[in-house]
Every structure is written in structure tokens, then in C-alpha cells.
Amino acid sequence: MPNPSEQSSCLVLENFIGGKFVPCRTHIDSYDPSVGEVYCRVPDSGAPEVGGGSGGAAKEAFPGWSARSPEQRAQVLNKLADLLDANVEEFAQAESRDQGKTVTFARTVDIPRSAYNFRFFASSLLHHTNDCSQTDHMGCLHYTIRCPVGPLEPPLYLLTWKIAPAIAAGNTVVAKPSEMTSVTAWMMCKLMQQAGVPPGVVNIVFGTGPKAGDALVGHPDVPLVSFTGSTATAQCITERSAPYCKKLSLELGGKNPAIIFADADLDRCIETTVRSSFSNQGEICLCTSRIYVEGSIYSEFLERFVAAAKKWKTGAPSDPSNDNGALISKEHLEKVRSFVALAKSEGGTVHCGEGVDQLHLPERNAKGYFMPATVISGISDSSRVMQEEIFGPVTCVSPFDSEEEAVSKGNGVRYGLAATVWSQDVGKVHRMARKIQAGLVWTNCWLVRDLNLPFGGMKNSGVGRRGERTPTTSSPSEKKKKKKKKKKRRRR
């Protein structure tokens, strides 16, 4: 497979529709964040590519793919996983250049997890059971079956997490990756062909949200939309989908707290919280951006945490000694910097990072979008810095005096995606887990994931749950992802 990281000329991507690469008449420039230069041109797709192209291909492929046995579909998913494993270095290099992250992170996290997504859902597909309830007094047997819903639209890690369970269940997919991180999705299309994915089962359409995304969301033949991104965009998707009563799965923003009690194992806590705050340049929806520390250990924690953050190295993504690479774009870097400037203007203290520590970058990376790990204290809970998602290597530290205050501070934002609690008191961590308004709460760890378990946020952090075992109950604000049918069969 050709390696985009080694190509000197500008790479031009094509849409993948009906099992074939289809050129687009107009394109968008995509930048290598580590050097600040254009290295790729991405299709600027719109309604023509979606309506008569990818949407039609997915609809046409659906009957045949959904009719295949679970074993047949699992074979294809396992082949995809094997191909990703065989090409891990090429994908890691491309993912790094596409997103600015370190090659090490892409090689050890993103690409292996992408392969695991296909392999996990290939296996889980073979072990599905249906719910059954006998009502002898009525002479009936009630049972629930789960059926494919048709073509889906999800936004290599996140993409495979959505594509894998969708096609495993017999659905067909039209996917639109971010226009800023499209290369590895394009590379994966070539693996689709090699793995034997039938034409039209997976279609990749590149472009912007207002054009390609809007056309997909508003397409009448797409019954389910899965989206990862901002809350503001999700509101537009909800409005656009409403006339069609589409099923929605929305993974949105986060402002995730870490709550650290005085009895926490500080050595382990600080090491993990540095990682949870700054991994992948802080560009993970589950990263910690607010740290609340019990007052009796606040000063010690802050001193040790800042010292550890200063050791978190930022630099060229190709250097294996670096922990962080570049942020995704120049515009995003400026946005993150603006929050640090706002914190300073409001009287906050920037202990390390932006404006404090100078980065020493190779000449080639001098124009890249880099920012060192930044720790801020002395900010009001009502500040935009504490309320809004920054999505960068910035975290704020603040003290609390009681368990009740910690809960109040942790829940004091409109988001509710994830949280971490640090304490050796088992009763306390269970109380906190119940009271914190977050879809996912870790205790004394971070980013320990199991695809068997439901994943999703509360409040403005999302709608719906993803995972092998999704909740069996629903509310008006959170619909079930899987289509269920109830039937009755007379006893003989």
C-alpha cells in the first residue's frame, strides 16, 4: 500500500462509492499540522455525490448484505482487522501526518484499536441472544429480535468504532470523515476491496459538514445518523433529521472533571491525571479539563502536578521521545490559546505551558501548530475557561473542601461525558459515581474501556449509547439504537 507520508506531491483523495473510487470536481486543502503546509486535497462533496451516489449504492447493497449469515459477515470483518494489522506502520505514519499526533500514539493506540473494533464486533455478532418472555396464562410467547435498519451515516479509530458494529449487524454505511482528517479513511477503502466487502456496503464521502454532512443527514433513505462532534452541530443535525423521524446517536462535547480526595494514591493519581489531561494534545473527548483537589492536599498536588506536566514533551510527531505532537489546525490552536489568554485576563495563574515554557522545535516544524502542556489555577467556576470545551492541552486545577462541594463543582457544567474519582475509600467512590452526572465514571484509573459496555454522555454530551450491550430501557431524550420488534406466537 502506498504510504502518504512518503509522497512528495500533493495527495488527491477520491470518494469511495459502490466499491469504486470516484473523483470529485472540487476539493478542499488539508494541512499537515506539524509543518503548517498543505499536503492533501480532499473532495468537497455535496448533494450529487450523496443523493444519487453513495446513498443509492448503500440502499442497493442493503438487501444482499443484511441477508448474509452472521458467520459470513464476521469473516469479512476479521479480514479487515487482519489487513489493518498488516499495514499498521503505513496507517500510523499517515494518521500522524493527517492529525498532528505522534507516530507512537498512532502506532500503539489508534491503529491497533481500529483493528480491534472490527475483530470485537465480528466475534460479538456470533454470540447475540434474543430476549424471550413466556406468558402462559395468555398462551403466548413474547420475543424480541434486532434487525438491521438500512444505510447509516457515521463521521481511523472513531470511524471503525461506528462502521464495525453497523456492518456486523447487516447494515450498510455512508460515512463522512472530518475534512481535516480524511487520509486514513481513504486508505481503509482500499482494504475494503481486499477484504471482500461487497460494493455499496461501506461508502466514504469526503467533504464539509454544511455540504456533504447536510446532504447525508437530510437524505430520506438514511434512517439512522451517528455523529461525533460539537453540541452546536448536533443541534443542527437534530433539526435536519426531525422531519424524517431518524434515529440519532450523538457523541458530543465534554468538560470532564477529575475529583481527587486527600486519601488518593498521589503518585499513581498524578501520573494518570497528566496523561488524562494531555494525551493526544488533549484532543480526546474523554480528556480531563477540570481537576478538583481536596483542600488539605491542594498545594502539594498542584506543585507535583505542574512539575510532572513540565516533563510532558511536545514536539515533532516523528520523534519517539515526544508525548504530544501538533494540534489539528491553525484555527484550533488560536482558539485554545485564546482560552489561556482569557484565564490570564481574569486573574488566573498559568503555571506552565502556553506563554511560560518555550518550545524548541526542529526547523521543519517551526510553522506547525504546537502548544505545550498548560496548567492553570485561580479561575472562577463560572469562567468560560471552566465552562466551555477547550479540546486542547489545557487543564485547570481548583480546591474543594467537602464531598458535597466536589459533586456540585463536578456537575456545574452543561456537559456530562466522563469523570474520574480518586480515593481509596470504596464507599466514597461508589457514592461519587452515583452522584456525578456523567455517562462514564472511572475510579482510580482513566481510559480503561470495554466495548461490551454502553458508552455515551449525559446532558449536552450526547444522545444514545454505543457498545455491544446497550441499555434495555429508554426515555424520551434517549432512544434505543437498535430496532426492536415484538411478536406473539401461539403455543401448539
pLDDT tens readout for residues 7-40: 457 899 999 999 999 999 999 999 999 999 999 9
Q: What is the strand order of the sheet 140-147 is part of?
A: 132-135, 140-147, 483-490
User: What is the grid cell recorded at 95?
Assistant: 494518521
| Residue 54 and residue 15 in contact, taking contact as beta carbons nearer than 8 Å | yes
- Which residues are CB-neighbours of 137 under 8 A, at least 6 positions away? none
Comparing C-alpha atoms, which of 64, 215, 216 is closest to residue 148?
64
Can you tell me the mean pLDDT for 297-301?
A: 98
- List residues bridging with 260 in a β-sheet: 293, 422
Q: How many CB atoms lie within 10 A of CB 126?
A: 12
Cα–Cα distance, 53 to 433 (Å, whole number): 47
Catalytic residue list: 251
Q: What are phi and psi of 451, to 5 degrees?
A: -65, -10
Cα–Cα distance, 388 to 289 (Å, whole number): 10
pLDDT tens readout for residues 104-124: 999 999 999 999 999 999 998
- Which residues are CB-neighbours of 235 under 8 A, at least 6 positions away? none
Which ranges in 346-413 belong to alpha helices (H)? 384-387, 403-410
Can you tell me the mean pLDDT for 473-491?
A: 33
Cα–Cα distance, 447 to 228 (Å, whole number): 18
pLDDT tens readout for residues 433-455: 999 999 999 999 999 988 888 89
For position 324, what pLDDT does the model report?
98
pLDDT tens readout for residues 309-353: 999 999 999 999 999 999 999 999 999 999 999 999 999 999 999
For position 427, what pLDDT does the model report?
96
Answer with the residue of higher pLDDT: 140 or 432: 432
Q: 77: which DSSP letter?
A: H
One DSSP character per residue, 180-241 reads TS-HHHHHHHHHHHHHTPPTTSEEE--S-IIIIIHHHHT-TT--EEEEES-HHHHHHHHHHH
Helix (H, G, I), strand (E, B) or coil at 448: coil
Could you tell me the fold of the domain covering 256-443?
Answer: Aldehyde Dehydrogenase; Chain A, domain 2 (3.40.309)
For position 470, what pLDDT does the model report?
52
pLDDT tens readout for residues 217-269: 998 888 999 999 888 899 999 999 999 999 999 999 999 999 999 999 999 99
Map out the domains of the chain as residue ranges: 11-252+461-478, 256-443
Q: How many CB atoms lie within 10 A of CB 331?
A: 10
Report the run of H or E that residue 350 belongs to, with start and end: strand 349-352
Location of C-alpha cell 469511495:
16
For position 474, what pLDDT does the model report?
31
- Which residues are CB-neighbours of 437 under 8 A, at least 6 positions away? 410, 411, 416, 458, 459
Q: Would you place residue 485 in the very low, low, confident or very high pLDDT band (cuts 50, 70, 90)? A: very low
Give, in order, the Cα–Cα distances in Å from 191 to each of 91, 177, 181: 11, 17, 18
Helix (H, G, I), strand (E, B) or coil at 347: coil
Q: Would you place residue 3 in the very low, low, confident or very high pLDDT band (cuts 50, 70, 90)? A: low
Helix (H, G, I), strand (E, B) or coil at 384: helix
Q: Would you place residue 51 in the very low, low, confident or very high pLDDT band (cuts 50, 70, 90)? A: confident
Cα–Cα distance, 126 to 177 (Å, whole number): 29
| Residue 327 and residue 333 in contact, taking contact as beta carbons nearer than 8 Å | yes
Look at the alpha carbons of 260, 263, 265, 270 in this order and tell me if their dihedral is positive or negative: positive
Could you tell me the fold of the domain covering 11-252+461-478?
Answer: Aldehyde Dehydrogenase; Chain A, domain 1 (3.40.605)
Cα–Cα distance, 276 to 346 (Å, whole number): 25
Burial class (CB in 10 A: 0-12, 13-18, 19+), 387: middle
Cα–Cα distance, 19 to 62 (Å, whole number): 13
